Structure 1
């Protein structure tokens, strides 16, 4: 069978190649604009990259973006397949349809799908900035058709009880950052310390003062009615700069004494005209004490940190809904949730709360918070029912265990090593 290669065949072949290029452009644009990070595009736009700025604008309405690209891509693919069928039918007769299907499948797969999408996924922000302007023009041109298609799709989805909201995001920015940190750590590009610091900052709004406060049983307090020289000795012997003052009972906090304020008052008395060491007995401790600052135990940590900075204070007493004293919290406690433990020369307990034995078990202080244990060892013990490791054991056991008792839950083995009154002070933990 002889076929004359007239100009129409060459025009058809050229049209097919042009449509494949258009399809490749749409495929690459779709991948680039959907995979490009908003954060990276914003950083590029802030540096003056107009393409990145347009890309951000285009990504605002993801539903309209995808609709316009898919519409153009499908028109290009269908039209190229139709022209290829006509072309190969003229060349091969009845076998033309089969040949056209094989050839176009290979061409579309390699040159219109895999190749452009591989390029786009390799450098999504760069590709997105390059294609943003023509895609924005395409969206404006096809806007009426896309609107009709979108309304039709939403109507069909509503029949199945599905509501499409273009303003909602499947993952919040916080979840995206946490996922990126987890991937970076698993791949070795993000250190554990860096990951913990960033996650600690992200978690502040989800955690409350109650979770990290120093419990009232561990608060060092001073009796406001004690002799001034005894108060001075207690303040100088304490590793803390600020100490609560109570009167009568420990729940009745009447002020907070700062070591520097006390020393200034003592220096003023001693250096006075009739001043000497015995003048300290005349010191009125309440005249130099600051009023106590109380906060609810349910206050989120990020809000409490803002309050500390706003009030220019670092110390607060925590109360429950009945106004009873529960503990205290400092700005340092909140910062430690981000950067980890902060130790200085006045810390009296340098012993690490976690020790590993030769057998692979971990000796843990019962008062250690579950969050700190998880961060230190990359574990995933739940902290929704208890704040401390001892509290978790008591909650799961539904009792106060005795020394030597062993429990297994959440994939770990817990052995009570020591107990003081009703408090579990030391545990041995091993992953199962």
Structure 2
């Protein structure tokens, strides 16, 4: 009963005959328990009867007390505590060879087991209890998360983080990891042609949004590699050719969970999408790479700064943080609990709290954190000093990529 059911199932699927035999026994635990209890009680009662007879013959009536004391000690130590402790510590070593004996005994004692189980079901029915309830080995997401955390000696910390990130995809939505609207790099097709060519040749991204004067008037998504191919194949590359080669924009509703969006990317064979709100206004941009980074961590090819480049942990547990740092990444890296329900960055969180642009040197205690405003520029909080209070964990060093 203390066997790891998942390991047992794994061994059985690999062709282990002993594991298959044990798994078959455990398919009907009521029959197995009945069989074990029949044998257990039969032996105990028989031993008690024999010990009483021997005690009376040797010591008379006093022999009953002597036999009871000695037999109780022997049964407790050698028939209960010792074997069951060994079985709990080494379940496979005990269960696999025991199944060789239990399997034929189950067949031999089947009529008696059936009779006892039938009587038990009748008694349970009289008390209004159901006997047809079957247990399940299925685990919830929270239980699976606990299993992954408990597998530290067997799975590396990096793989644990990846597995936990996959489980977290359904509680993270596209708004949390998108490239904000103001950071989207696009090309205004009404610019001079030489300026457009310059932007194409110097673009750090594989896809660029094409728009007319304003990003709200986006007209297509240009694959930079396709533009390069046309430049090489055609003697003259024109604006009209560029517009014809652009793909139709793939729109993503805001608030879409990442696990759902990943499936939609695969189903629609898309790699990049524009996130829009309920009014159709552009909120940001999301790519498959962004979702993969949420699982495996930042790629070295990412142009945006990593969290390690946006924070400077101090020896006293405080940390200097850029205003543009993601709150989710800070919580994930440091084990903090900063709110993420509205604002996505430290700058947005503090502006929402102050409802104004704070001055340099402003100090506030916010959500179990001590915050000092270090730098303010262009109506934005550029840098703050955060010190966790109470039970919040101190900041730790991060690896820079």
Calculate the TM-score normalised by the size of structure 2: 0.78
Shift of the 48–387 alpha-carbon distance from structure 1 to 2, 3 Å rule, reads: farther
Displacement of 1:202 = 2.8
* 1:211 pairs with 2:176: yes
Asked if structure 1 preserves the Cα contact closer than 8 Å seen for 2:250 and 2:273, the reply is yes
**Does residue 118 of the first structure (1) align with residue 85 of the second (2)?**
yes
How far does residue 297 in structure 1 lie from its aligned partner after superposition?
3.0
The aligned residue for residue 266 of structure 1 is 231
Question: CA offset at residue 382 of structure 1?
Answer: 6.0
Match of 1:360 in 2: 317
Q: Check conservation: 2:271, 2:288, Cα contact below 8 A.
A: yes
Q: Say which structure is richer in helix.
A: 1
SS at match of 1:305: helix
Distance 1:190 1:424, change over 3 A: farther
Q: Distance in 2 between matches of 1:157 and 1:401?
A: 67
1:11-47: CA deviation from partner (whole Å, max 9, x where unpaired): xxxxxxxxxxxxxxxxxxxxxxx33223322221222
Please point out which of 181, 187, 195 is paired with 1:222. 187
Q: Which residue of 1 aligns with 2:286?
A: 329
Q: How do 1:339-350 residues align onto structure 2 when only pairs under 5 Å count? A: 339-344=296-301, 347=303, 349=305
Pair 1:95–1:216, CA change in 2 (3 A)? farther
Partner of 2:315, secondary structure, is coil
Query: In the aligned structure 1, how far is the partner of 2:45 from the partner of 2:165?
Result: 52
Q: Distance in 2 between matches of 1:384 and 1:96?
A: 75
- In the alignment, the residues of structure 2 paired with residue 69 and residue 399 of structure 1 have an alpha-carbon distance, to the nearest angstrom, of 70
Whole-angstrom CA distance in 2 between matches of 1:43 and 1:165: 25
Q: Which runs of 5 or more residues in structure 2 are unaligned?
A: 390-401
1:146 equivalent to 2:94? Answer: no
Q: Contact 1:216–1:327 at 8 Å: present in 2 too?
A: yes
Bigger shift: residues 238-247 or 52-61: 52-61
| Equivalent residues of 2:351, 2:357 under 8 A apart | no
Deviation at 1:127, TM superposition (A): 3.7
Inter-partner Cα distance in structure 2 for 1:401 and 1:150:
72
What secondary structure, in the 3-state scheme, does the structure 2 residue paired with 1:252 have? strand
Residue by residue over 1:354-408, the C-alpha shift from the partner in whole angstroms, topping out at 9 and shown as x without a partner, is 321233312234444444324323x152666357352895599485672523224
1:237 aligns with 2:173: no
Q: Structure 1 residue 373 and structure 2 residue 330: aligned?
A: yes
Mapped pair 1:250 → 2:215: yes
Give the Cα separation in 2 of the matches to 1:175 and 1:358: 34
Out of 401, 406, 416, the position equivalent to 2:364 is: 406
Larger relative contact order, structure 1 or 2 (CA cutoff 8 Å, min sep 6): 1
Give the Å deviation of 1:293.
1.3
DSSP-derived class of the 2:295 partner: helix
- Alignment size in residue pairs: 382
Asked if the contact 1:40–1:125 (Cα under 8 Å) also holds between the matched residues in 2, the reply is no
- Alpha-carbon distance change, 154 to 380 in structure 1, aligned in 2, over 3 angstroms: farther
Q: Paired residue for 1:192?
A: 157
In the TM superposition, residue 287 of structure 1 has moved relative to its aligned partner by 0.3
> CA separation of 1:112/1:356 partners in 2, compared to 1, >3 Å: closer, same or farther?
same
